[in-house]
Amino acid sequence: MAWVVELKDIRVCYGTSCVLNVGELKIAPTERVFVLGRSGAGKTTLSQLIKGRLKPSEGSISVLGHSRVVSAKEERENQRHIAMIDQEFFLIPRLSVVNNVLLGCLGRVSPGKSLLGWYPASEWEKAEAILVEVGLKGLENRRVETLSGGQRQRVAIARALMQDADIIIADEPISNLDPELAEEALRLLVDCTKRRNETLLVNLHQPSLARKFASRFIGLSRGRVVYDGPPVSFTSDDEEFVYRGNENGKGSSKK
């Protein structure tokens, strides 16, 4: 199988503190992987590593067949194929909805033209179609700062879809939403990535919600993988093990 993500003997350390310690981890194309764990478990570090924002202290990582030991130019090209939805969204409040979404195509448009807002007609059409898909038709010209939290989440999803990435990573994407909107946002994200045959990696705190959408759970505790398998096999004991911490460093795999 051609894995889209391969990690081998990975360690991410800051001084004497090791925040991620993964022996082996592989993710297949089109998987919907939900990474579970309490705050500080290493979820964000793992997603930042896959995105290319972090370099490992030790070990090797390959994403979409490319090693991370590459030039800066090659790394930028590789990152075009990995979209990230951050917890805080990082939208530009004073820009319109459609202009925020168009930022997702920056890898395909020259910097000079994008600074002036000169996007090809095909990109405008694509952005408008995606806004319809995520339920924001009619809000194209609204400034993002006037939107509700749920609407901003949809703009962030639309911008990620605009990137035409092979992998979409969402880091705690529903932490600021109430339960009903949270489930709605996850369903939208999963449905959109399914239609595009994209691989989805979501960091989440809520196993009960993740069960509704995931094809695979990865449980992290203190930077180590302590569960890796299907949601149906994730028991209450596994949940307690993930969220109470891993004292002895032993993990479990139920793939």
Tokens encoding 22: 């993964």
**What are the distances in angstroms from CA 230 to CA 47, 196, 210, 218, 235?**
20, 22, 11, 9, 10
pLDDT of residue 252: 56
Q: What is the pLDDT of residue 247?
A: 47
Residue 33 located in a structural domain: yes
Indicate the pairing of strand 58-63 with strand 224-229. unpaired
pTM of the shown model? 0.90
Any idea what the CATH number is for the domain that residue 57 is in? Answer: 3.40.50.300
Residue 140 counted as domain residue: no
Find the domain containing 216 and state its range: 1-81+167-174+199-255
Provide the pLDDT for residue 233. 96
Q: Is residue 226 part of a domain?
A: yes
Alpha helix (H) residue ranges in 134-178: 149-162
Question: Residue 244 has what pLDDT?
Answer: 80
For residue 63, being part of any structural domain is answered with yes
123 touches 79 (CB < 8 A): no
> Do residues 151 and 100 lie in contact, with contact meaning Cβ atoms separated by under 8 Å?
no
Domain assignment of residue 28, yes or no: yes
Give the pLDDT means over successive 10-residue stretches in the chain (255 positions): 93 92 97 95 95 92 82 72 89 93 85 70 95 96 94 95 96 85 93 97 93 97 96 94 64 56
Judge whether 44 lies within some domain.
yes
* Domain count within the chain: 1
- The pLDDT assigned to 248 comes to 45
pLDDT for res 249: 43
pLDDT confidence of residue 250:
47
224-229: strand order across its sheet: 82-85, 167-171, 199-204, 32-36, 216-221, 224-229
